Amino acid sequence: MKEGIPMIQIESWAAEFAQKLQKAFGQRLLFLGYQGSYGRGEATDHSDIDIVTVLDQAAPADLDQYRELVRSMPQGELACGFLCGREELAGWPRYDSLGLLLDTKPVVGDLRELLPEFTREDVWEALKIGASGLYHAACHTYLYGGNPGGALAGLGKAAFFCLRFWALCRDGHYYPSKRELAGVLSGRERDLLRLAEARSPEEIQADYALLLDWAGEILKSPPPWEEA
C-alpha cells in the first residue's frame, strides 16, 4: 500500500462490495462475509481484506466477473479470500468449514444455512488436524530451517489458531481474537500465545520444546469428554 493511504473501514467497504455483487449476480449471491485480521479486529493498514463469498455455482466466467469487481474496489489489491459454489461448500471437509463458519463476519446471507450442523467431534478433529500440522511444522523447521528462531513468529500464529479450538473444546465458547483468548488462557497455553522470535539458542530450544510437547499431547490425548 502507498504511504499515506488510510486503513479501510471494513463495514463500509464490505457493504459497497455487496452492492456490486448483488447487482452482478442477483440471487446467485448466497453469502458474503469477511474474516482474517479485519474479522478479529486486529487489522493494520497493511492487512489483507479476506473475503468469503458463496455463489450458487462458480464457473470460470463468474470468477472473471468477480475479479473485475474486486479490482474496481478501493484498495482492491489487498483483497483475497475464499469463493466457491453452494454444492462444493456443502461437501467441504467439516473441520475446515467449521473454521470458516466461526471466523467469518456475515454481510449478506447466513453461512449456517449453507453448512451442516457441527458437533463437538468436529471441533476435536479440527484441533487435532491443527496440532498435527503444528507438530510437523515445528519438527521440520527445527531440523531443516536455516533460521529456526526467525520462524517462531509464524509457528506462534499457527499455535494461535489451534488454541482457539482448544479453548472451544474446553469452554464451549469461541474466542476469535488474541486479546479475547489471552484473557482465558494460563500456563503453557498462554506461553504459546505469546510465542515470539527468540534471541538465544537456549530460548529457541525451549520454545520448540513447548510447541512439540503441547501439540504432541493433543495428538496423544482422547477427547476431553472421554476423560471426564
Phi and psi (nearest 5°) for 23? -65, -40
Q: Is the pLDDT of residue 149 over 60?
A: yes
Residues paired with 98 in a beta bridge: none
Rounded distance between C-alpha atoms, residue 97 and residue 83, angstroms: 12
Q: Are 155 and 141 in contact (CB under 8 A)?
A: yes
Question: Rounded to a whole number, what is the largest CA-CA distance in the chain?
Answer: 58
Residue in the structure block whose three cell numbers are 510437523:
136
Class of domain 10-114: alpha beta
121 closest CA partner among 195, 224, 19: 224
Q: Is the pLDDT of residue 1 over 60?
A: no
- What confidence category does residue 169 fall into, taking pLDDT thresholds of 50, 70 and 90? very high
Averaged pLDDT, 1-6: 47
Write down the mean pLDDT value for the chain.
93
Q: Strands (DSSP E) along 125-223, which ranges?
A: none
Q: Is the pLDDT of residue 89 over 80?
A: yes
Domain ranges of the chain: 10-114, 120-227
Residue in the structure block whose three cell numbers are 504459546:
192
- What confidence category does residue 197 fall into, taking pLDDT thresholds of 50, 70 and 90? low
Q: Are 101 and 168 in contact (CB under 8 A)?
A: no
pLDDT value at position 130? 98
pLDDT value at position 2? 40
pLDDT value at position 56? 98
